[in-house]
Structure 1
Amino acid sequence: MINIVLICAAGMSTSMLMQKMKDSAKKRNLDISVLAMPEGRLDTHKGQIDILLLGPQIIYLEDKIREIYEKKGVKVAVIDMVDYGSMNGDKVLDDALLLLE
């Protein structure tokens, strides 16, 4: 199981993207968990994280989050603004999986 967490300012827009990524993973028969939350809840999240994706609106937190999570073996990336805006779950999932290679 690959655990992907999406974070953004309020968790609203990433929730829509999360569902599209889940649908994409299901169509491909991939064993992937996708969870979305506001960045303020990340500190209290107790579950496993393999890939942490930031919404483009919180790119200013990228360095801080990388510093904390990459030490734990978590792959961190900012979601492409165009893919985020168009809610392209297939492409965001593809980009996330490339981080594991």
Structure 2
Amino acid sequence: MKRILLACSSGMSTSLLVTKMQAYARSIGDEAEIWAVGQDKAKEGLKSADVVLIGPQMSFLKEELQKEAEPLQITVDVIDMMAYGMADGKRAYEQALSLMENK
């Protein structure tokens, strides 16, 4: 089971993207737990994730979150701007998979 955490300022703007990512994962037969949290819960949430994608508006926190995630061998990255803006679940899911494969 793949565990993908999305984090944004409040957790609201990534909710639609989570839904689309879940639908895409199901369509290709993947088992994935995908959830969203607000910025204040991101550090706590990363302990349960395989990969963390953060909203573009949180890009300033990437380095800080990555330092927290390194001992857990978790990669943190900013959600592709086009995928985020268009709520492209396929593209965001594939970004997460790529990060998991390259760690």
TM-score after normalising by structure 2: 0.92
Q: Give CA-to-partner distance per residue, 1:8-52, whole Å, 9 cap, x none.
A: 001111011000000000101101100101010124438621010
State how many pairs are aligned.
Answer: 101
Q: Which residue of 1 aligns with 2:19?
A: 19
Report whether the alignment pairs 1:34 with 2:34.
yes
- Unaligned runs of 5+ residues in structure 2 are none
Contact 2:7 2:55 in 1 (8 A): yes
Question: 1 CA distance for matches of 2:79 and 2:50?
Answer: 15
CA RMSD of aligned residues (A): 1.4
Which segment drifts farther, 66-75 or 25-34? Answer: 66-75
Give matches, 1:1-101, under 5 Å.
1-45=1-45, 48-101=48-101
Take 2:42 and 2:12, find their aligned partners in 1: how far apart are those partners? 15
Aligned identity (percent) is 33
CA contact (8 A) 2:7 2:39 kept: yes
2-structure distance, mates of 1:52, 1:44: 11
Q: Distance in 2 between matches of 1:78 and 1:53?
A: 5
Q: Distance in 1 between matches of 2:89 and 2:8?
A: 15
Q: Scaled by the length of structure 1, what TM-score is found?
A: 0.93
8 Å Cα contact 2:8-2:58 kept in structure 1: yes
Q: Distance in 1 between matches of 2:46 and 2:39?
A: 14
